[in-house]
Structure 1
Amino acid sequence: MNKFYDIYLDLKCKIEKYEYTTGSLLPSEKLLSEKYGVSRETTRKALALLLENGYIQKKQGKGSIVLDIQRFNFPVSGLTSFKELQQSQNIENETIVLKNKREKIPEFLAETLNLPTNTEAVSLVRLRKISGEVIIIDKDILLANIVDAVPSEAAEDSLYDYLEGTLGLNISYAKKVFVVESATPEDRAMMHLPEDSYVVVVKSEVYLEDTRLFQYTESRHRLDRFKFVEFARRKNSLI
């Protein structure tokens, strides 16, 4: 692993744990280079990664200012598992598996994905609790020709740890759609929502490195518990 990337990860971790608070300055390039025992060029590469990923802003004559990382409460881009999300933000959580069954995929999904109606899949339904409240209902459909079964203990811990670590799948990218919908009776019952509530629904088609579709996910989020924010940095125009 490149040394600059190790430094980036260490600084990123310290910012996420608020060892460097929002609005504060990171140590100077000189001090960081001395702390990590590297050249200033290596330190600059680490800071450049923090800049690209929205952790700091550089200001001439002032240094590296730590940005508000709460913008990453739910990353819009990228493929982040719930376990990774809670670890990065120190969220007290619990996952309850309500359903873990092999069955034919729903007709709407067969039509949407242009798959035969008799296609079999592993169907998972999981409740995500944070601080004792159910705030997400996750519904996963994993095509059985790629994922034959998922142990419930793996679904409770980390589905992606199991898929990547145990099954050796190379998960690469996803197509995501974000919509706001009226809460269904199931949403209201599971998440203790009042009448006329809304939920944010993230629908994802997830693909392997070899471009095979293997997972469809529908995550239903309590609207009052999440911010969906993407960090965007404008690149200088070449025109």
Structure 2
Amino acid sequence: MIDKNSPIPVYYQLKEDVKRKINQGVWKVGQCIDSERELSENYGVSRMTIRQALGELVQEGILVREKGKGTFVCEPKVKQQDMMSFSEMINKSGRNLVTKVLSFVKISTPEEFQDIFRFEQLYKIDRLRIVDDEVVANEIVYIPCDYCGYLDEEILKGSLYKLLEEFGYKIAYSESALQAILTEDKHKILFNTQENIPLLKSFSKTFTENGKILFLEESIYRSDKFILEVNISMREGKLK
């Protein structure tokens, strides 16, 4: 299984083989995989190599270590790294996405949004995002009625990004504020659970290329099902 003469590093070959076994169901979600000693014997490699491979799988959210118990297969999570729609992200992962529109109404622009939007009316779109039959996110989007053509609930079951591009808008970037929140009864109803679950609340503004705010979004994600990776870099010339 491991070709030590290959230019591909041994730890990487091992890592890919562990992933293959997980995908094939040899080790299922929640199951403890073989110990480091067993893996070392089975693959004929050092335990240091085993640790390196497993360490990367832990960082990628594929495995989790539990002290004194072993290393277990994690439940797959939705992972967002770049600027893309939720629909596009799920499609790329090969998983099944269903969008349920809870409400779609036209409202007078709330006072707290009047400094952002100079329009009298907004569409308020409340949607659940269901991945592989589990509710992962609740999204509430506010967008000026003047920005959109004809909309209905059926259209809103697809990608909002793609829909807005069809109306002539090109989405460039977003600004988000993130907050961990406690589970309330209303969240248990939304996410169809009786348990207290970790939740991540996001408030974001999405902009076009010329800096125009296209829509606002208030979202709540199950943070045990969703990973948001943020890349931060130092701007050149800012450090003296």
**TM-score, normalisation: structure 1:** 0.60
| Cα distance in structure 1, aligned partners of 2:139 and 2:12 | 35
Residue 160 of structure 2 is aligned to residue 159 of structure 1: yes
- Which 5+ residue runs of structure 2 have no aligned equivalent? 1-10, 15-55, 62-76
Higher mean Cα deviation, 92-101 or 190-199? 190-199
Partner of 1:96: 100
| Cα distance in structure 1, aligned partners of 2:233 and 2:78 | 18
After TM superposition, give the deviation of residue 122 of structure 1 in Å. Answer: 1.0
After TM superposition, give the deviation of residue 70 of structure 1 in Å. Answer: 4.4
Partner of 1:56: none
- Given that 1:73 and 1:226 are in contact with CA atoms closer than 8 Å, whether structure 2 keeps it comes out as yes
Partner of 1:135: 136
SS in 1 for 2:101: strand
2:218 counterpart letter in structure 1: E
Change (3 A) 1:114 1:229: closer
- Given that 1:122 and 1:150 are in contact with CA atoms closer than 8 Å, whether structure 2 keeps it comes out as no
CA-atom RMSD in angstroms: 3.4
2:229 counterpart letter in structure 1: V
1:230 counterpart letter in structure 2: V
Partner of 2:122: 121
SS in 1 for 2:107: strand
Partner of 2:70: none
**What is the total number of aligned residue pairs between the two structures?**
172
| Cα distance in structure 1, aligned partners of 2:190 and 2:220 | 11
- Which 5+ residue runs of structure 1 have no aligned equivalent? 1-21, 26-66
Partner of 1:59: none
> What percent identity do the matched residue pairs reach?
18
Per-residue deviation, residues 26-68 of structure 1 (Å, max 9, x unmatched): xxxxxxxxxxxxxxxxxxxxxxxxxxxxxxxxxxxxxxxxx86
Partner of 1:75: 80
After TM superposition, give the deviation of residue 233 of structure 1 in Å. Answer: 8.3
2:204 counterpart letter in structure 1: S
- Given that 2:78 and 2:226 are in contact with CA atoms closer than 8 Å, whether structure 1 keeps it comes out as yes
| Cα distance in structure 2, aligned partners of 1:231 and 1:212 | 23
Structure ranking higher in helix proportion:
1
SS in 2 for 1:145: helix
**TM-score, normalisation: structure 2:** 0.60
SS in 2 for 1:160: helix
| Cα distance in structure 2, aligned partners of 1:114 and 1:141 | 11
| Cα distance in structure 2, aligned partners of 1:132 and 1:95 | 11
Per-residue deviation, residues 61-100 of structure 1 (Å, max 9, x unmatched): xxxxxx8694794325x42111111111111221111111
